[in-house]
Structure 1
Amino acid sequence: MIRTNITTIKDFIITGFPGLHRTYYGPVSALLLCTYFVIFVGNTLILVFVGFERRLHKPTYLIFCHLAMNDLLFGTVTLPKIISRYWWDDKIASFGACFTQMYFVHSLGAINSLLLLIMALDRFIAICLPFKYPVIITNNAISIACGFSWIGTFVRMMAIVLHALTLPYCDSNLILQCYCDHFSITRLACGENVKYVVNVAFGFAMFSLLLPLSFILFSYFSVFVVVLRIPNTEGRYKTLSTCTPQLLISCLYYLPRCFVYLSNVIGFTFSLDVRISLILLYSLLPCAVNPVIYCFKTKEIKDILMRRFKKATVGMK
């Protein structure tokens, strides 16, 4: 294709997994559909359950609700298009639709990172400053912090998308990914400013990832120090168990991402299909697994669910 300084691309083609044979289109689309069903049902149930259960109207569970909403939106933004790509061979995405998807993909990812930071702050104050917790961590304080995370990120990501729109797009229109993201789109741009736009976006991405991660590591390290100072084993276990859901959720989000980023830094490369699979896995697995963690690793939610299950069982006899 001849390079020009004018955008000639009108739409993009979502390739998904480039090496996937057509024989497996049906099973892959079915697997993705089941994944979306799990994400939708699991996170919707968390939102409804916490919303109607007044005993759970507390800061920690309010953060869970924001995370559930984020996971639900991320699955809804990314999965329907790739499902239709393999189910009906609908692989065309308009120019505007692709940029819109990119905007929400990166916004929701950055919001998730900030919500995990707020969740770590909640546990840090609860364990390291327990007497100040009821004063500092209130429903209003958490609502304001989460609200700023959503609004601030949506405004900030608008600048990233508008910056990418300043580039002319006149190269191939193949998106080598299961959804439109900044790297997949800007690699198709031409002109002298491509590298600058990519570097700015990469800097913002690292800021959104590493700044929250630094505080999260500091907060949980401080929590472990406090836990180790507790004289009896039962007290240590009880205190540490209150952090288990938050630790699992944070690990699910950060560890795979850090693995992929570090692999790139040290020069370890994956095949394109493996790379896309890893990105899809670390993007969607937390969305599907988080509701299970909320229910079975959070004592208060688990106790309420067990009581309701026992009542329902008794009522059926």
Structure 2
Amino acid sequence: MFEVNENYTRVSEFVIVGFPGLHPSFNQLVAWIFFFIYVITVVGNILLVVLFALERSLQKPMYIIMLSLALSDIGVCTVSLPKVIARYWWDDAGISFYTCLIQKQLIHYFGTLTSLIMMTMAMDRYLAICYPLRYTELMTNRTMSLLTALSWVSAMIVPGITTIQTSQMPFCGPNRIIHCYCNTVSMNQLSCADISSQSRVSVSLSMFVLFLPFGFIVFSYVNIIVSVMRMANAQGRLKTFSTCATQGCIILIYYIPRFIVNATPINPNLTMTPDLRIGLTLLHSILLILQSAATPPQPLHLLPPYQGDQGFPGQVGLPRAVQRTSQTLHPPHSLLTGSQAACRL
């Protein structure tokens, strides 16, 4: 329980500070940048959703994942960016306590959802490259739909726990949120009670939902690399390595800033200025616009032509007929929007 004066006045409204070190003369520029990111991301991802619904050739497992990422992008941008745009455009920085709580819940929900979807994507690539002949049997549209649905539901658990904790904390003093939106760390720092144990719980849960998917992604890529190294065809190895390396960079851009930001509150030896913390939080969001250029692997047709026992050791190389089938199963990803994941905060 929290020990505070029973006569305290509960804070009913918070103030979104944004970047505390930003000179007011740059407010309009920042507002335009966020507005541009919001419009491009929402419009681009809506086009992707419409394209997925209209084009039957895209209704395959990998594109079900991309659809989930598109919906997640739309959600997190709509939850976070309009308020920060209003903050810098019209100096409208006020946000009610319960609106802030809802924003916090949804932002962490979409962040957790993105991690789980990336884990599902890594699973899809692992099966496609390491078990190409069984891929269509193991990863059907039904299976992928169930996995993504499970991600959407289970992503509510950890953010829900931290939101309940925050809702029970007393807020009776400062009400300035040093961030561009409401999140767990920024809100908990304003509590007028000792919340050290609650902070450790929330940070531990946050690290768990990051490390679990990240660990599986690393496991998948290690196995993919081992399988690729067994390829007899050098061109096939080069193509697959090129695709996986780009995807690996995107994953690192997403996870490393989050690890640093989450580790700072629990390690007294780590200090970080508010502007740097906010910048790291937004870094992966802006750079993830490159994700569309990092086309997901198309494993079956990346394998060399039929080579008999010269393919994977212990496996039979894929004949050209299977490669032609794989091109139908994995249509070109150039159809994906360039705004994918532009503001996954």
TM-score class, shorter-chain normalisation, is: 0.7 to 0.9
Map 1:14-163 onto structure 2 (within 5 A). Answer: 14-163=16-165
What is the alpha-carbon distance in structure 2 between the residues aligned to residue 242 and residue 253 of structure 1? 17
- Other structure's SS at 1:12 match: strand
Residue 313 of structure 1 corresponds to: none
Structure 2 distance, partners of 1:158, 1:253, is 22
Q: Deviations over 1:94-149 (max 9, x none)?
A: 00100000000111101100000000000111111222211211111111111111
1:1-317 equivalences in 2 (<5 Å): 4-5=5-6, 6=8, 8-192=10-194, 194-240=195-241, 243=244, 246-260=247-261, 267-286=269-288, 288-293=289-294, 300-302=331-333
How far the C-alpha of 1:7 sits from its partner, in A, is 5.4
% identical aligned pairs:
36
Query: Is the alpha carbon distance of 1:106 and 1:213 closer, same or farther for their aligned partners in structure 2, counting shifts above 3 Å?
Result: same
Q: Which moved more, 1:163-172 or 1:213-222?
A: 163-172
Q: Which runs of 5+ in 2 are unaligned?
A: 300-329, 337-345
| 1:7–1:168 contact (8 Å) kept in structure 2 | no
Higher fraction of helix:
1
* 8 Å Cα contact 2:247/2:291 also seen in 1: no
Residue identity in the other structure for 2:254: Y
Q: Structure 1 pair 44/248, CA: closer, same or farther in 2 (3 Å)?
A: farther
Shift of 1:191: 2.3
Which one-letter code corresponds to 1:212 in the other structure? Answer: P
After TM superposition, give the deviation of residue 81 of structure 1 in Å. Answer: 0.2
Which moved further from structure 2: 230-239 or 141-150? Answer: 230-239
> 2 CA distance for matches of 1:227 and 1:266?
43
Could you report, residue by residue, the CA deviation over 1:266-300 in whole angstroms, capped at 9, with x for unpaired residues? Answer: 945343222212212223442x44345459x9983
Q: Residue type of the partner of 1:57?
A: Q
CA distance in 1 between partners of 2:5 and 2:15 (Å): 20
Closer/same/farther in 2, CA of residues 241 and 140 from structure 1, 3 Å limit: farther
Q: Could you tell me which amino acid in structure 2 is paired with residue 52 of structure 1?
A: L
What is the distance in 1 between the residues matched to 2:44 and 2:252?
19
Deviation at 1:261, TM superposition (A): 5.1
Tell me, in whole angstroms, the C-alpha distance in 1 between the residues paired with 2:200 and 2:102. 20
Contact 1:123 1:243 in 2 (8 A): no
Specify whether residues 166 and 80 from structure 1 end up closer, same or farther in structure 2 by C-alpha distance, changes over 3 A only: same
Q: Structure 1 100/262 Cα, relative in aligned 2: closer, same or farther at 3 Å?
A: closer
Secondary structure of 2:280's aligned partner: helix
Q: Is the 8 A contact 2:177 2:186 kept in 1?
A: yes
Q: What is the distance in 2 between the residues matched to 1:69 and 1:96?
A: 24
Alpha carbons 1:115, 1:149 under 8 Å: kept: yes
Q: Is the 8 A contact 1:50 1:56 kept in 2?
A: yes
Could you tell me how far apart the structure 1 residues matched to 2:79 and 2:126 are? 32
1:262 offset after TM fit, Å? 6.4
The corresponding residue for 2:320 is none
Distance in 2 between the 1:88 and 1:258 partners?
A: 33
Q: CA contact under 8 A between 2:14 and 2:177: conserved in structure 1?
A: yes
Question: Per-residue deviation at 1:72?
Answer: 1.6
- Number of equivalenced pairs: 301
Unaligned runs of 5+ in 1: 306-317
Separation in 2, partners of 1:128, 1:294 = 18
Conserved in 2, the CA contact under 8 Å of 1:43 and 1:291? no
Give secondary structure in 2 for the equivalent of 1:237: helix
SS state of the match for residue 331, structure 2? helix
User: In 2, distance between residues paired with 1:203 and 1:167?
Assistant: 18
Q: Which amino acid aligns with 1:300?
A: P
SS class of match (1:93): strand
The structural deviation recorded for 1:302 is 4.7
In structure 2, the partner of 1:314 is none
> What is the one-letter code of the residue matched to 1:301?
P
Shift, 1:168, TM fit = 0.9
Separation of aligned partners in 1, 2:275 and 2:158: 31
One-letter amino acid matched to 2:258: R
**Kindly tell me: are residues 144 and 7 of structure 1, through their superposed partners in 2, closer, same or farther at Cα, counting changes over 3 Å?**
farther
What's the Cα RMSD here?
2.6
Pair 25,239 (structure 1): closer, same or farther in 2 beyond 3 Å:
closer
